[in-house]
Amino acid sequence: MLAVKVPLKGINEVKNILIKINLLNKYYKIKTDGNYGLIAIKTPKNLENLENKINENLKMSKIKDLNKSTVKIENIGMEPFKKEPRSLSEQLKGKLNEDEIKYLKTSFDIIGDLVLLEIPKNLEKHKEVIGNACIDFTNTKSAFMKKSGIKGVIRTREIERIAGEDNSRTIAKEHGVKISLDLKQVYFSPRLATERKRVEKQAKNGEKILDMFTGVGPLPILIAKNKNVEIYGVDINKIAIEYFKENIKINKLNDHIYPIFGDINDVALKFKEKGLKFNRIIMNLPETAYKFLDLSIYLLSDNGILHYYEFSGDYEILINRIKQIAIIYNREIEVLNMRKVKSSSPGRWIMGVDVKIK
Ligand SMILES: C[S@@+](CC[C@H](N)C(=O)[O-])C[C@H]1O[C@@H](n2cnc3c(N)ncnc32)[C@H](O)[C@@H]1O
C-alpha cells in the first residue's frame, strides 16, 4: 500500500498536511524505519499531483530538512489498527458462521466481573467459544450460561460456567454502592438498578422502611447510603442475608439498617407484636407478592407508600388486588405511579405500582 516516508521529526506536520488534503488513511498505524516514519495514505488519483501538493505545503514548514528530497512516497506493507468489535456478534465473526451468529442472543448481564448469558440449544456446542468471546467483549473474568429460569422460593437459577474462572462470587457496582453476592446462591438482577434508584429517590429522611423480600439487600443499601432512614430488609434465604450483612460492611453503613433472616410471615408477626408500622414498604417478589398484601397493608402507617410488583400484562390486576385488601382494613388507596419495570417473557412484564394507603 502507499505510504509517505518522512523524517521522524516531521511526522506530525506531514500527517496534518495529509488530513488537510483528505489523503490520510486513518485505518493504518504509523510505522518507523530508522530515522523515518511511514504514514499510510489513501490511493490518490494522480501520484504526481499528490507529491506536488505535499511539497507545496512543505514550503510553509518551519522544520528544516522537510522538503522534496526528504519526503517520499513508497509502496510498502502497513499494519492496520485493530478494529474493536462493537457487539458480541462482531466479536464472534470468524469463530461462528453467519447462520450461527443469527441465532445468538445478543443481550447479556454484566454482574461485577461476571457475565451471564443465554445460549440457544443449537449453539450449545460452541458455548466455550461464545463464553470466551463474551469475556473478551465485556472485559470480565468469567462467563456463565443460564441453565434454567428463576425458580423456587429463593428465586435463584441454575447456571453453568462456560469460560474463565469457576467462581460465581462477585461484587456488582450500581449507583455508587457495592453489592457482594454469589450468583449461584442468591437472587440478583442488575436490570433492576434503575428501579432501585427510582424508589431510593422517593424515600424521605426520617422514614421507617421495610423491604419484605430484600435478597442481598441492594435496595436498603442504596437507600441507607443516601437517606437518613431506619430500614429493615427481610429474606427467607439465609445466604442472601449473610451477603446483606457483608454489604453493610463494605459500604461502611452501620446504623439504622437491619438485615433479618426469616419468612416474612413470621417476621411480620413480630413487628405486629411490637406495634411497629412503616412509612414505606417494598414488595419485590413478582411471582407471589399478592399473597403477602394483607401483611403489608396492615404494617403500613397512615398515608404509607407501597411499592408493589407483579408479573402481569395489566396494571388493573395489581391495583384491584391492593384495593380489595385495603377495603378489608377500611383504608383508601391513591395510585401514584404505574410502570413496566422489566420484560420477563414476550407479553409478560414485571409491572410496578406505587400506591398510597390512606
Ligand atoms: C425477586 S427476589 C428480590 C430480591 C431483591 N429485592 C433484589 O432486588 O435483588 C425475591 C426474594 O424474596 C425472597 N423470599 C421469597 N419468599 C419469601 C418469604 N416468604 N419471606 C421472605 N423472603 C422471601 C427470596 O429468597 C428472594 O431473595
For 257-316, how does the pLDDT look when each residue is reduced to its tens digit (9 = 90+)? 999 999 999 999 999 999 999 999 999 999 999 999 999 999 999 999 999 999 998 889
DSSP states of 153-186: TTTB--EEEEEE----EEEEEETTEEEEEETTTS
Residues of the chain with CATH 3.30.70.2580: 2-75
For ligand 1, pick from 155, 179, 198, 344 the residue to mutate: most ligand atoms within 8 Å of CB: 155
According to CATH, the topology of domain 88-167 is GMP Synthetase; Chain A, domain 3 (3.30.300)
* C-beta 214 within 6 A of ligand 1: yes
> Beta 177-182 vs 31-33: how paired, if at all?
unpaired
CB atoms within 10 A of CB 275: 6
Q: Which one, of 322, 324, 213, 302, lies nearest residue 260 by Cα?
A: 213
Cell digits of residue 9: 521529526
Work out the percent of the chain whose per-residue pLDDT is above 70: 100
Residues paired with 74 in a beta bridge: 3
Higher pLDDT, 200 or 87: 200
- Arithmetic mean of pLDDT over the chain: 93
Cell digits of residue 297: 397493608
Helix axes 218-226, 238-250, angle to 10 degrees: 30
Examine the pLDDT at 156 and tell me if it is beyond 80: yes
CB atoms within 10 A of CB 49: 10
Does the pTM of the predicted model rise above 0.95?
no
* C-beta 232 within 6 A of ligand 1: no
According to CATH, the topology of domain 189-357 is Rossmann fold (3.40.50)
* C-beta 213 within 6 A of ligand 1: yes
Residues whose CB falls within 8 Å of the CB of residue 307, separated by 6 or more in sequence, listed in order = 199, 280, 281, 282, 283, 284, 352, 353, 354
* C-beta 11 within 6 A of ligand 1: no
- Average pLDDT for 94-109: 90
Of the given ranges (81-85, 166-170, 246-250, 304-308), which has the lowest mean pLDDT?
81-85
* C-beta 154 within 6 A of ligand 1: yes
How far apart, in whole angstroms, are the C-alpha atoms of residue 19 and residue 39? 11
3-state secondary structure of 344: strand
Work out the percent of the chain whose per-residue pLDDT is above 90: 74
- Average pLDDT for 339-350: 83
Instruction: Compute the distance from residue 266 Cα to the ligand 1 centre, in Å.
Output: 14
Contact 178, 251 (CB under 8 A): yes
Atom index in ligand 1 nearest the CA of residue 189 equals 9
Question: How distant is the alpha carbon of residue 268 from its chain centre?
Answer: 33
Q: What is the pLDDT of residue 47?
A: 80
Report residue 59's pLDDT band, with 50, 70 and 90 as the boundaries: confident
Contact 268, 246 (CB under 8 A): no
Given CATH 2.60.120.10, say whether it is the number of domain 2-75.
Answer: no
Cell digits of residue 197: 434508584
CB atoms within 10 A of CB 141: 15
* C-beta 150 within 6 A of ligand 1: no
* C-beta 172 within 6 A of ligand 1: no
Examine the pLDDT at 344 and tell me if it is beyond 80: no
Residues paired with 82 in a beta bridge: none
Cell digits of residue 104: 445468538
Helix axes 193-202, 218-226, angle to 10 degrees: 40
Residues of the chain with CATH 3.30.300.110: 88-167
